[in-house]
Amino acid sequence: MLQDIRANAQGTVAKVIIGLIVISFSIFGIESLLFSGGSNGVAEVNGEEISPFALQQELSVQQRRLLSILGEDADPALLDQAQMSQQALETLIQREIIKQAAKDMGLNTSDQAIADIVGSMEQFQIDGQFSPDLFQGALASAGFTPALFRERLAEDVEIGQLRAGVAGSDFSTEAELDLAASIALEGRDVRYISLPLLDFIASVELSDEAVETFYQQNPERFQSEESVILEYLELGIDAYRKDVDEERLREEFELVRDEFELSAEARVSHILIEGSDADRAERIAAAQKALSEGMSFADAAAEFSDDIGSAQDGGDLGYTAGDTFPEAMEEAIAALGVGEQSAAVETEAGTHLLLVTDRREGSSVSFEDVAAELEDRIQSRDAAADLLVDVERLRDIAFNAADLNAPAEALELEVQTSEPVSRNQQEGLFARPALRQAAFSEDVFEAGHNSEVIELNPEQFVLLRVAERRPAALKPLEDVRAAIEVELREQLAKEAAAAQAMELMAALSQGSTVEEAANAAGLQWQVELGARRNSRSLPGVVRERLFAMPAPEDGSPTREIVDEDPDATYLVELARVSSGNPADMPVQERELLRQRIAGETGGILQQQFETGLRERAEVIVY
């Protein structure tokens, strides 16, 4: 496609199109294309606007969540921007509707409650302790600021309160509970005969003619997938790694020595007091008084500190080498011994009371200790730079190239050829969704152009083109004979088992018992008295059919053949049904049953409630 664009960019049609665009600008004004007027939001819910920033953030969250589940081999189609944007917008609209309902009901949560939740979240903890650095880093990588995260968390708590309240408002009556208990405790006396298919497969005789007939009658079952033979160039970072001489390693060591040498550090905790000068003075005095009267620094931090993140961890701020905190704080820390508390220290953030809880000495390393790491670091850095230079060269050359020969020659690469690659390739390099999508794109598959240079990861890039197209075709019989034989044997075995089950049914109808019929046929039979719906001793298909069978009438058992199991066929006889007595259910099981009923009906109630909110809401999507 890109080659076609360049080839036709100077053509008459292109000039006419450009002329029409220029005329439209001159008549209507360029601002008619750039400014649409109206709202800056993407949607409006009951007068409350949803901003483009909120949509982009929600979209980012959903994409990150999907990638975390699927990994780097995620199908690009699943990350389609337009489709995911629609999903993200719908999520935001529903969230705004429920948030407004929670607000109307006066539901809210305190800052302290949010601080407690944040402090208890394991993803922000190291060795069970809240880490401010980890908290900040995790939020930054997810695109959140601490304030935005706390705001979103508060909304989640309030929405959770509403949903829990709605679901919890449902209840089950004693009559409903008794009915559910009687069903759960119902017992059924059952006898059944097993006819394992393996016993029949061994005796199945299968002719070549039967296999050939099945093959000819079902050609659509044995089509090969449409596939392509690909030519491709691959750029990987390992090919760009080069040896590093010692002189450069030593120069690097001098430049980064500080990274390997640990400075003397102090671990510090603080109590931060914010607010007006008068208020701060009063609260600082109260905190100092409490400390002087024996309150531990950790307890004082929890009670007085306005730093929500550290207050839940005894005020701990971690270690500083003298350059982490504002200068006034660092000067005070430097003057304190372990266990000593400072006087009030003023910074732009507020007033601090400081406690040094630990000090550790610095350490140094020799060149020999880190030479291997430095070499790997330099090699990786240089290789990455050289790789990206060649990637850009490859993009430029491949743009106009008719095939891969010119790009390969320019970059001294070898054109490689793949095995047949299908649209559902599951193995090898071309199992990567991005490569399969490119190979079968209209531009590459239909037009025969080179693909774009595809980044699989920052260290691996691929350029490809279709060398040969192989349409779907009927596979040779010999390639599929084994699969046909397996299928036919299983089918014939199933038919034989069904036929024997009918013979057994006829024997039972003539007065034989299950035991007599099974023994006569040399088959196994089982009996279970008072089987319940949660019984695990019965085969799953037998248990499922057993409790769907009608109860016996006039003392005559109910019988059915069950053939849903791929490994066996069963003849099932239901002899008696015993109604469950709710009074027989233990108190604990009855309570669990009550909770399950309430949970199921509460979930339905919650869904109906939110559906009603949506139907009554005024939603405008721009």
- Considering the domain architecture, whether residues 540 and 602 belong to the same structural domain is answered as no
Confidence band for 77, pLDDT divided at 50, 70 and 90: low
**pLDDT, mean of residues 345-366:** 88
- Considering the domain architecture, whether residues 465 and 384 belong to the same structural domain is answered as yes
Confidence band for 524, pLDDT divided at 50, 70 and 90: very high
Please give the pLDDT value at position 242: 93
Bridge partners (DSSP) of residue 262 are 363
Pair of tokens at residue 345: 């220290």
pLDDT (tens digit, 9 = 90+) per residue, 216-231? 999 999 999 999 999 9
Which H/E stretch holds residue 406? helix 405-411
The domain boundary, picked from 470, 491, 508, lies at: 470
Bridge partners (DSSP) of residue 558 are 574
Please give the pLDDT value at position 120: 86
Confidence band for 80, pLDDT divided at 50, 70 and 90: low
Query: Does residue 343 register a pLDDT over 90?
Result: yes
Confidence band for 74, pLDDT divided at 50, 70 and 90: low
CA distance 454 to 398: 12
Q: Which of the residue ranges 274-278, 330-334, 359-363 would you say has the lowest mean pLDDT?
A: 359-363
Query: Does residue 240 register a pLDDT over 50?
Result: yes
Q: Mean pLDDT, the chain, as a whole number?
A: 87
- Considering the domain architecture, whether residues 413 and 427 belong to the same structural domain is answered as yes
CA distance 261 to 265: 12
- Considering the domain architecture, whether residues 335 and 383 belong to the same structural domain is answered as no
Please give the pLDDT value at position 26: 40
Flag whether 321 is in a domain: yes
DSSP 582: G
Flag whether 395 is in a domain: yes
Please give the pLDDT value at position 145: 78
Confidence band for 72, pLDDT divided at 50, 70 and 90: low
Please give the pLDDT value at position 8: 44
Please give the pLDDT value at position 474: 94
Q: Which residue has the higher pLDDT, 95 or 9?
A: 95
Flag whether 558 is in a domain: yes
- Considering the domain architecture, whether residues 277 and 310 belong to the same structural domain is answered as yes
Please give the pLDDT value at position 501: 96
Answer yes or no: pTM beyond 0.75.
no
pLDDT (tens digit, 9 = 90+) per residue, 532-566? 998 889 999 999 999 999 999 888 999 999 999 99
Query: Does residue 16 register a pLDDT over 80?
Result: no
Query: To 10 degrees, what angle do helices 514-521 and 477-509 make?
Result: 140
Confidence band for 163, pLDDT divided at 50, 70 and 90: confident
Please give the pLDDT value at position 27: 37
Confidence band for 20, pLDDT divided at 50, 70 and 90: very low
- Considering the domain architecture, whether residues 454 and 484 belong to the same structural domain is answered as no
Query: Does residue 505 register a pLDDT over 90?
Result: yes
Which domain does 271 fall in, by range?
262-360
- Considering the domain architecture, whether residues 423 and 441 belong to the same structural domain is answered as yes
- Compute the residue count for the chain: 622
Flag whether 155 is in a domain: no
pLDDT (tens digit, 9 = 90+) per residue, 95-144? 999 999 989 999 888 888 888 888 888 888 887 788 877 888 888 777 67
The one-letter amino acid at 50 = I
**pLDDT, mean of residues 389-394:** 96
- CA distances in angstroms from 575 to 500, 530, 532, 557, 564, listed in the order given: 21, 10, 14, 5, 22
Please give the pLDDT value at position 32: 38
Confidence band for 39, pLDDT divided at 50, 70 and 90: low
- Considering the domain architecture, whether residues 231 and 376 belong to the same structural domain is answered as yes
- Considering the domain architecture, whether residues 607 and 521 belong to the same structural domain is answered as no
How many domains are there within the chain? 5
- Considering the domain architecture, whether residues 387 and 451 belong to the same structural domain is answered as yes
- Considering the domain architecture, whether residues 563 and 593 belong to the same structural domain is answered as no
Flag whether 52 is in a domain: no
Query: Does residue 482 register a pLDDT over 70?
Result: yes
CA distance 576 to 190: 8
Enumerate residues 6+ apart whose C-beta is below 8 A from 510: none
The domain boundary, picked from 425, 449, 470, lies at: 470
Q: Which of the residue ranges 74-88, 340-354, 378-392, 436-450 would you say has the lowest mean pLDDT?
A: 74-88
Please give the pLDDT value at position 56: 86
Residue 96 in contact with residue 63, Cβ under 8 Å? no
Radius of gyration of the chain (CA): 37
Q: What is the CATH number of the domain that holds 427?
A: 3.10.50
CA distance 576 to 579: 10
Bridge partners (DSSP) of residue 356 are 268
**pLDDT, mean of residues 441-456:** 95
Following DSSP, what letter does each residue of 433-473 receive, concatenated?
HHHHHHHTSIIIIIT-PPPPPEEEETTEEEEEEEEEEE---
Please give the pLDDT value at position 79: 63
- Considering the domain architecture, whether residues 548 and 612 belong to the same structural domain is answered as no
Residue 34 in contact with residue 615, Cβ under 8 Å? no
Flag whether 350 is in a domain: yes
Confidence band for 75, pLDDT divided at 50, 70 and 90: low
Pair of tokens at residue 133: 């650095």
Nearest residue to 63 via CA among 82, 42, 44: 82
Bridge partners (DSSP) of residue 269 are 316, 355
Flag whether 89 is in a domain: no
12-37 residues labelled b (16+ CB within 10 A) or e (exposed) = eeeeeeeeeeeeeeeeeeeeeeeeee
**CA angle 438–439–443, rounded 5-degree value:** 70
Flag whether 80 is in a domain: no
The domain boundary, picked from 470, 501, 535, lies at: 470
Sign of the torsion formed by the C-alpha atoms of 60, 63, 65 and 67 = negative
pLDDT (tens digit, 9 = 90+) per residue, 241-288? 999 999 999 998 888 887 777 778 899 999 999 988 888 899 999 999
Please give the pLDDT value at position 11: 47
Which H/E stretch holds residue 338? none
